[in-house]
Copies of this chain bind each other. A is one copy, B any other.
Amino acid sequence: MMFSTLAAVLVKNFAPYACGSGIPEVKTILSGFIIRGYLGKWTLLIKSVTSPLAVGSNLSLGKEGPLVHIASCCGNVFAHLFPKYGQNEAKKREVLSAAAAAGVSVAFGVPIGGVLFSLEEVSYYFPMKTLWRSFFCALTAAFVLRSVNPYGTAHFAMFYVTYNRPWLLFELVPFALLGVMGGLYGAGFVRANLFWCRFRKNSKLGKFPILEVMVITLITVLLSYPNPFTRMDASTVINELVQECGPTSHTNLCDYNVTRHYHGLNTTFVPASPSGGLGDGLKTALWQLALAFLFKCIITVFTFGMKIPTGLFIPSLAVGALMGRIVGIGVEQLVYTFPDNPMWKTDCQFSNGQSCITPGLYAMVGAAAALGGVTRMTVSLVVVMYELTGGLQYIVPLMLATMFSKWVGDALSGEGIYDGHIRLNGYPYLEQKREFTHTTLAADVMRPRPGEPPLKVIVQEGMTIYDLEELVKSNTLNGFPVLISNDSQRLMGFVCRKDLIVALENAHNRPEVTEDSPTYFTLHCPASVSELGNSNPVRLFNIVDLSPIAVSDHAPMETVVEIFAKLGNRQVLVTHNGKLLGIITKKDVLRHIAELEGEDPEKIMFD
């Protein structure tokens, strides 16, 4: 509890951005938005210190989200050391994508899983080049991790399983069931957690983050102590749940009321009592599993989103493993009780006393299903799971559960936890995966709207330095369209605000330029003073983007959204037969989508 309070105090006083998972924010940043300081040195330092504190306090939270955030901070800080990367937002984002991959790699020792997680969940633009670089980054991370060898085992995998008994065809039914349960859990978790976070934001609770952390820690500690499956740290619990009962396991989980003979991979049962295989220890364990499952389900909802670094992988895996082990023991007892059912009779050969169900495998599948339900990962989840457990031969069960979990989860709550938090916090994130299905036109979205003052524009010839300076001062727009003339309204190009400010400063430094000097955005401008009377012309042709992306006012918004999502630009100009009508910025698109979906467009946060 001291740990978690200390973490909360540090986060609150030194780096408010160090709280939470960090993945929603990193995702938003990778889509092109800038959150100043979010990937800075202070955040890096404080999150590095507080994440272990939070994990150490035995709260129901993990380290994967914070490690992705920490890795991205490292990537950002590092990128600023090299001008080529630090000064180019696109290049910096490539570095961040690779860093996110490395973050997951080191969190769990899953190098390929990390790359795919970065590809599937975190990144926005992911060209092949980035895939290759992330791969290199993850390799280095994996190599360092292997050299340090923090788990003290020869195996790379955190939850390495030793069994490799084949699964049976009828088991696909319980595996699919686990997938459905994982999807239900995930959808429930996402909805409940978003509800709670919204409540926290809007109520007085939001003003006492440290008190909240203390209370939740107290409740967690008090309620988790009596139950061995919540008292131990979550990684140990998961590891215990996914293992099978072997000759050396003497925990309650393996207290079967039968005498077991182990020879190699096969186990022979000799029933000791007619009542069934469950020993008293196992009966207790089942109760404890069920209680631990319920407790973890509920407490994680309140824990994720507190003002300390909170990851979601480990709690989700733990919930799923608890669920899976219960189902697994159930199936095992079913087969034990009805050995002659035709569904498993031939496969199991139970009459020979050979066990054929591995409850640990169910825990593994359940863990995948729960994590899938919460995050809606697919390919990356399966790879992460088999890198975590080494259970390569269980790929069909894992894929099946992942699939059902995603179907059920998507049906019950349309978004994963990260997208949910992006929307909750109002980050300007343009969802790439969801299709834009409305039939609005560019003309409906562009500014100026009817009644608004006309667009701020530049005319290619004849504006003075003074005019331009006034134009820059009068607003905070990102840039200005350049017209051929005020009469024709025909579009010639686009000038970025930044470039214009630099160009004006440069002009001021030249002695012959005055406030009245005319400016020329055309390729050819009068060369000498004599042609112009007294003042000296200023050539600004080189700062004009001559091919700004422009669409017709009749263009469907579907096209406009696709242009924003794929080309990553910040604005699109709207023309009608070559005449400039208006402009659509990314913000306008996000506001428009929010309006169409019945949400409050004003709560979207902008830089």
Contacts and interface: CB of A to CB of B under 8 A. Distances in A.
Interface of A: 111-112, 115-116, 120, 127-129, 131-132, 135-136, 138-139, 142-143, 146-147, 154-157, 164, 166, 169, 378-379, 382-383, 386-387, 390, 392-393, 395-396, 399-400, 403, 406, 432-433, 442, 484, 490-493, 546-547, 550-552, 554-555, 559, 562-563, 566-567, 575, 577-579
A432 to B, nearest CB: 7
A129 B120 CA distance: 11
Given A131-B378, A379-B135, A396-B142, A559 B547 contact: yes
Given A442-B547, A577-B491, A392 B403 contact: no
A393 B546 contact: no
A398 to B, nearest CB: 10
A115 B402 CA distance: 15
B393 A390 contact: yes
Contact of A578 (B383, B432, B490, B547): B490
Nearest to A575: B578
17 contacts: A115-B379, A131-B378, A132-B406, A139-B396, A139-B400, A154-B164, A154-B393, A156-B393, A156-B395, A157-B392, A383-B383, A490-B578, A493-B552, A546-B555, A547-B555, A563-B567, A566-B567
Given A129-B433, A577-B490, A392 B395 contact: no
A433 B127 CA distance: 7
Contacts of A554: 546-547
Nearest to A566: B566
B135 A577 contact: no
A154 B167 CA distance: 9
Contacts of A155: 164, 393
Contacts of A393: 154-157, 390
Contacts of A490: 577-578
Interface residues of chain A: helix, strand, loop or mixed (majority): helix
Nearest to A382: B112
Contacts of A128: 120, 432-433
A552 B546 contact: yes
Nearest to A395: B111
B432 A112 contact: no
A383 B116 CA distance: 11
A84 to B, nearest CB: 14
A166 B558 CA distance: 53
Nearest to A157: B392
Contact of A131 (B379, B547, B578): B379
A439 to B, nearest CB: 14
Nearest to A388: B392
Contact of A399 (B139, B390, B547, B562): B139
Given A128-B120, A578-B578, A136 B403 contact: yes
> In this complex, which of A399, A432, A555 has the most chain B Cβ atoms within 10 angstroms of its Cβ?
A399
Contacts of A567: 562-563, 566-567
A22 B154 CA distance: 42
A132 B120 CA distance: 10
A136 B406 CA distance: 11
Contacts of A387: 392, 395
A399 B578 contact: no
A40 B166 CA distance: 39
A187 B382 CA distance: 33
A337 to B, nearest CB: 26
A577 B492 contact: yes
Contacts of A551: 547
A155 B163 CA distance: 12
A168 to B, nearest CB: 11
Contacts of A555: 546-547
Given A383-B383, A393-B390, A399 B111 contact: yes
A116 B554 CA distance: 39
A221 to B, nearest CB: 36
Nearest to A155: B393
Contacts of A379: 112, 115-116, 131-132, 135
Nearest to A172: B143
A341 B550 CA distance: 69
A143 B403 CA distance: 13
Contacts of A390: 392-393
Contact of A120 (B131, B136, B442): B131
Contact of A392 (B120, B392, B442, B562): B392
Nearest to A410: B132
